[in-house]
Amino acid sequence: MGRPANIQGLKLIHDPQQPILIYGSPGRVQGTLTIQNDSDTKLTVRSIPIQAPKLRSQTLEPLQEIRIFSRMYPSQQSRVTLDFPIDPSTPPGTYPATVQIGDQSQPVQIRISESIELEVEPDNVTVSAQDPKRFEREFVVTNVGNVPMSVGEKWVAALQVPEGIESQVVQRMKALCQKKQDEGTASREEGSSVQELLCLVASQQPGPVTLTWKNLTLAPGETQVMKGVIELPDGLQPHRHYFAEFELFSASLLVDIYTNR
């Protein structure tokens, strides 16, 4: 078992007039400090006591320690990394704290940046497109960041190229190149063939997919059930698999679309 971090003999190597600076977002707060074993025995340090009255841990408990690991022989120094999460809804700002190293009490500044993060469940939906082009789905949307977020009203995503179109294009281009090589000169049909190729690509690139729901501003940690409407463009080819990926801030939503006719 490791000895507690505030044992006598452990020394902090830091200017006592300058606070220790720790930066990050609530999901990952990081910093470094240097400690020294001033005792005559080997020390193993697994945590450092901290007093941060305005901060809570990820489990919403008072933040009382920072877990680290360092094993030092007498007179040995060790530079340790402070890497820990806190309550994800902690607002941006600078928070005063104090760490206790041996018999030293050292001020700390914990600077929290903005975290813009959204969770959407489910993150993958499938629709079977026949005559209807409009589908309703329910989503659970959570603001897991630390600032209020407007979830927007309308999102647009490109409809991805159907499966198989890439190979069709490659095969057609190879055929054109082979014909040109065999004839030794540019084929009369080359211009019309290229146009045909471009039309092939264009015909299988319908317009975008849209996702519409009520525009709300979610407070940090707030969850809402949203009724979303997915609308497909005209021009979908029969018996195809399409997909569209919506980028919803840090979240993503994949929509798989299968056409039956």
Judging by DSSP bridges, how do beta strands 134-143 and 118-121 pair with one another?
antiparallel
Same fold, 10-112 and 116-160+206-261: yes
CATH of the structural domain 116-160+206-261, one choice from 2.60.40.150, 1.20.1740.10, 3.40.50.1000, 2.60.40.10: 2.60.40.10
pLDDT of residue 2: 39
Q: 50-74: per-residue pLDDT in tens?
A: 999 999 998 999 999 998 889 999 9
pLDDT at 216 over 90: yes
CATH superfamily of 10-112: Immunoglobulins (2.60.40.10)
Q: Helix (H, G, I), strand (E, B), or coil: what is residue 132?
A: coil
pLDDT of residue 132: 67
Q: What percent of the chain has pLDDT over 90?
A: 54
> For the residues 139-146, what does the mean pLDDT come to?
95
Q: 25-44: per-residue pLDDT in tens?
A: 998 899 999 999 999 999 99
pLDDT of residue 23: 95
Query: What are the residue boundaries of the structural domains of the chain, listed by start?
Result: 10-112, 116-160+206-261, 163-203
Max CA separation in the chain (angstroms)? 91
- Residue 189: alpha-carbon gap to chain centroid: 50
Q: Name the nearest CA neighbour of 149 among 113, 119, 117.
A: 117
* Distance (Å, whole) CA 138 – CA 136: 7
Q: Name the nearest CA neighbour of 173 among 153, 202, 140, 197.
A: 197
For the question of whether the overall pTM of this predicted structure is more than 0.95, the answer is no
pLDDT of residue 195: 60
Q: How many residues does the chain have?
A: 261
